[in-house]
Structure 1
Amino acid sequence: MKTTLKFIPLNHWILIIVNGKDSKKFLQHQLTINIDNLTDQKNFLYACHCNSKGRLLTNMKIFKYKHNCYGYIIRKNIAQIYLNSIKKYMFLYDVHILCSTKSLVGIYADNNTTQNFLLHVFQNSNYLMHKHSLLIDKDNILLKIRTMSRNKYLTIIIVNNIHNIISYIRYHKIAFSYNYDIKLFCQIGYPIIDKNNFTKFIPQEINMYKFHAIDLHKGCYIGQEIINKIYMANNHYNNNKLFSIKIKITNIIPRISDRLIITSQHTLTNKHYIINGYILTIYYFTNNQYCLMQIMSKIAITYNINIKILREHKSYSLYIQK
């Protein structure tokens, strides 16, 4: 097999299972999408789960797993605080929510390479995903995610036992690409919601509308009033946006906890605008010379924008790369 395949450990993600006869009704009253659109087991959808103030508990990739059973993928480090936050909504429903013990791994490659890998590992020619984004075969689940590359995909594989996969990877001497999923998600603009930014943002701020994760025409759900209010106000209620930029690491290594000072100059008036920014997540390239960051900002991040990190009463300039 060609070495163009990247094997990505996904230990920092977890599968949440929602089952019970009221599972669909519960999710319909909680999430920002219309659960009626999950009618089959051939595609997954992006969605958000918010609190009553419209703040994001988590975003997710959700799919119909079985009859009266749904699954969705979130960050592992928020799983417990997330489940504790939604317990109060479960009492009126016949529903059970738990963290699955299944393992998650990722494959990044073109269609042919991915299918060749799946055929050898699972010994099943049915593991072909040309038209659909979801495949469920007994206890195995595969999600196919589009990336910035036209002919390459991130395939998330969810299994009970990854022994066969690991054995195959080691036999073919394929290196582990740790955190490479973060790079891919940064590139497509998919926000990473973990413990550092739990309940800090509304869905519109982090571009979840670009993933069709907000249905403005469905019935009531938690946080709907705030989310619709912002939409009706043409986003002037809060105009933070999410940007992905590549930074050259020079005299400081950026951290998620860092405070950003962003300075912009108006092209007509020459006035300078200074605002605070927020780092959502960071991917460090293997050579440690560059990093890819998701930044929250109220002004568009372009190459002529001046960005500084403020740390311990000192400021450090960041250099945006094309």
Structure 2
Amino acid sequence: MKNNEIDNTIIYLSKNLFYNIFMELDSWSLINITGIDRKEYLNNQFTIDMNVISKHQYKVGAHCNINGKVWTSFFIFKYYDCYLYIIRSSVYKKHIYELKKYSLFSKIDISKEINFVIFGLLGPDSLLIIERFFLKKFNKNQSLIISKKTIILKINKPINRFLIIIHKSELFSFLKFIKQHAIYRDSKQWLGLDIESYFPIIDNEISGRFILQSLGLKEWNAIDFNKGCYYGQEILCKYENKKINQFIVCSLIGENCLYNLKISENIDYFDNQTGNVYHVGIILAWVPIFDKKILLQIRMKKRFFKYKNIFFLSSDPDIKFRIFEC
């Protein structure tokens, strides 16, 4: 896919996006769940109540191990006679392996969906673009629209934007239309917006390491404490009842550098008063942004979340960051 005569590798903060853009979200995968036991089975595995998913709303949820540590997060919704959900591509094999472990006696089929392509769309006219092409309108109670073989999810953080999941049979006409109304950009632009939104990016290096609440997923209503049993429930409920979560997901910003940042790399803080250096968090994701800056997503200890604090990489104290203010 070609760009529209601009450098599509330049990533902007949401406040600097003044035109319509679209991108293929090649770092995300679509999972398909079919079979008559699909709802019951997923309800016993996922952290959300599958019974409250409606045809007009998607849900953010998570799949955890027995210790309440998150394999993956996802956006899930009904699609005709199945459930579809979107997860990070780097974890889909691990997720499917873990999800299938207990399916021997259930009538359910779990697979990666290969007949759809996932796009992101945003910009001042993005809603109008959707209405013109799909001849559908969102009302105030909708976050999901299904139009024949296309699914559209509305996300309002940090700005209004849309996930468009389109069947390959309709791809040609969609691309012909969208290229006339929006500029193609690199998929890291969407990642940058997820980082601004504090939506936790759970790639392979992070999968299975951290409790749900410590990844900020409670703020996305990705857990139901009142439904029936599911994997990790006992630990997650104890964690919640004892109010022992000491972590948040936040964003840091700093000057760009030639250093190749790594997911799960440590972020430190130097206390001028005590002279101590503290490990305050780890990197979940990062993107280079315009102009010569870098945006990090961090799982950080809450007590260090102060806008005046300056942070640095454990491996290179000369690379400094501060908390990003939206």
User: Given the two structures, how large is their TM-score scaled by the length of structure 1?
Assistant: 0.86
Q: Is the 8 A contact 1:285 1:291 kept in 2?
A: yes
Q: In the TM superposition, what is the alpha-carbon distance from 1:283 to its structure 2 partner? A: 1.9
Partner of 2:23: 8
Deviations 1:113-135 (A, max 9, x none): 2243224444xx2x211320001
Query: What is the aligned counterpart of 1:275 among 276, 279, 291?
Result: 279
Q: Quick one: distance in 2 between partners of 1:114 and 1:47?
A: 26
Three-state SS of the structure 2 residue aligned to 1:205 is: helix
Q: Is the 8 A contact 1:147 1:188 kept in 2?
A: yes
Three-state SS of the structure 1 residue aligned to 2:154 is: strand
Query: What is the aligned counterpart of 1:24 among 28, 32, 39?
Result: 39
Partner of 2:297: 294
Partner of 2:14: none
Q: Quick one: distance in 1 between partners of 2:161 and 2:131?
A: 17
Q: In the TM superposition, what is the alpha-carbon distance from 1:252 to its structure 2 partner? A: 4.0
Query: What is the aligned counterpart of 2:189 among 180, 187, 192?
Result: 180
Q: Quick one: distance in 2 between partners of 1:146 and 1:172?
A: 21
Q: In the TM superposition, what is the alpha-carbon distance from 1:286 to its structure 2 partner? A: 4.1
Change (3 A) 1:305 1:90: same
Deviations 1:9-39 (A, max 9, x none): 211111111111100000110111111111x
Query: What is the aligned counterpart of 1:317 among 316, 319, 325?
Result: 319
Once the two structures are superposed, the pairs formed by residues 71-90 of structure 1 within 5 Å of their partners are 71-90=84-103
Count, aligned residues: 303
Q: Quick one: distance in 1 between partners of 2:250 and 2:306?
A: 10
Q: Is the 8 A contact 2:61 2:74 kept in 1?
A: yes
Q: In the TM superposition, what is the alpha-carbon distance from 1:171 to its structure 2 partner? A: 4.1
Q: Quick one: distance in 1 between partners of 2:62 and 2:130?
A: 30
Query: What is the aligned counterpart of 1:221 among 230, 253, 263?
Result: 230
Partner of 1:303: 307
Aligned-partner residue type, residue 52 of structure 2: N
Q: Is the 8 A contact 2:268 2:277 kept in 1?
A: no
Q: Quick one: distance in 2 between partners of 1:286 and 1:178?
A: 15
Three-state SS of the structure 2 residue aligned to 1:165 is: helix
Partner of 1:54: 68
Bigger mean CA deviation after superposition, 273-282 or 18-27: 273-282
Aligned-partner residue type, residue 293 of structure 2: Y
Q: Quick one: distance in 2 between partners of 1:248 and 1:130?
A: 41
Q: Is the 8 A contact 1:264 1:306 kept in 2?
A: no
Once the two structures are superposed, the pairs formed by residues 1-322 of structure 1 within 5 Å of their partners are 4-38=19-53, 40-67=54-81, 69-101=82-114, 102-110=116-124, 113-122=125-134, 125=135, 127-131=136-140, 132-149=142-159, 153-161=160-168, 162-172=171-181, 174-235=183-244, 238-250=245-257, 252=259, 254-264=261-271, 272=276, 274-287=278-291, 289-298=292-301, 299-311=303-315, 314-320=316-322, 322=325
Q: Is the 8 A contact 1:306 1:317 kept in 2?
A: no
Q: Is the 8 A contact 1:263 1:275 kept in 2?
A: no
Deviations 1:196-224 (A, max 9, x none): 21101111001111011111111100000
Q: Is the 8 A contact 2:255 2:319 kept in 1?
A: no
Identical-residue share of aligned pairs (%): 26
Change (3 A) 1:271 1:257: closer
Q: Quick one: distance in 1 between partners of 2:28 and 2:321?
A: 31
Q: Is the 8 A contact 2:26 2:187 kept in 1?
A: no
Q: In the TM superposition, what is the alpha-carbon distance from 1:79 to its structure 2 partner? A: 0.9
Bigger mean CA deviation after superposition, 79-88 or 163-172: 163-172
Q: In the TM superposition, what is the alpha-carbon distance from 1:77 to its structure 2 partner? A: 1.5
Q: Is the 8 A contact 1:249 1:318 kept in 2?
A: no
Q: Quick one: distance in 1 between partners of 2:257 and 2:42?
A: 46
Change (3 A) 1:129 1:231: same
Q: Quick one: distance in 2 between partners of 1:45 and 1:265?
A: 44
Q: Is the 8 A contact 1:262 1:277 kept in 2?
A: no
Any unmatched runs of 5+ in structure 2?
A: 1-17
Q: Is the 8 A contact 2:206 2:264 kept in 1?
A: no
